[in-house]
Amino acid sequence: MRSRYPNRGSGLEYYLWIFTRLSGILMLFMAAFGIVYANLAGGRTLLDMAAQYRWGFFPTYWHVQNSDIPDVFPNWSNSFWQIYAVLLFFVAAVHGFNGLRVVVEDYVHRPYLLLFAKWLVFVLFLFTLFAAAVIVFELFV
């Protein structure tokens, strides 16, 4: 269980350890809020279970478009949910890619390979954030 406890020597490592815990709670609450909202906005009768989970994960209108909702635009597709989805994804991406960095540090020991792997993780992180923002705000040309 080495990776569970923070290395007190480095401030950043400690803050990332705290962030992993707090963002975990935050993501649970954000998903719960999204699902509660979806049910109050008529999803109780219109959404099946899978659509509710998809919406909780990433509240974008195409995650509920194939359900029985006749018009997604008033309640399910507005700038509130776009910003909410990007914030949720950003928190989840920092949490997830930081976890990947911890796993990489556990199994990669050669210094240059570790440096390369950590940069690869960082570039993937940035590209995933970019892709998610483009998808949510529909910035395709």
Partner 1 sequence: MYRGRHVGYLEGLRYKGQENMLAWVLHRITGLGILILVGTHVIAAFFLNAIGDNISTTITTIYESKPMQVFVYFCVLYHALNGLRLIVEDLWPPLLRYHRELLWFQWLVFLPVFGLPAALMIVSLWSGGA
* Binding of residue 57 to partner 1 (CB under 8 A): yes
Mapping DSSP onto H, E and C, the string for 84-136 reads: HHHHHHHHHHHHHHHHHHHHHHHHCCCHHHHHHHHHHHHHHHHHHHHHHHHHH
Q: Do residues 63 and 54 touch, judged by C-beta distance below 8 A?
A: yes
* Binding of residue 1 to partner 1 (CB under 8 A): yes
* Binding of residue 49 to partner 1 (CB under 8 A): yes
* Binding of residue 131 to partner 1 (CB under 8 A): yes
Amino acid found at 85:
A
* Binding of residue 19 to partner 1 (CB under 8 A): no
Q: What b/e readout covers 109-119, taking b as 16+ CB neighbours within 10 angstroms?
A: eeeeeeeebee
**Complex with partner 1: residue 76 or 89, whichever CB lies closer:** 89
Binding mask 71-110 for partner 1 (x = CB under 8 A): ------------------x--x---xx-xx--x--x--x-
Q: Do residues 86 and 129 touch, judged by C-beta distance below 8 A?
A: no
* Binding of residue 24 to partner 1 (CB under 8 A): yes
Residues of this chain that bind partner 1 (CB under 8 A): 1-2, 4, 21, 24-25, 28, 49-50, 53, 57, 89, 92, 96-97, 99-100, 103, 106, 109, 124, 127-128, 131-132, 134-135, 140
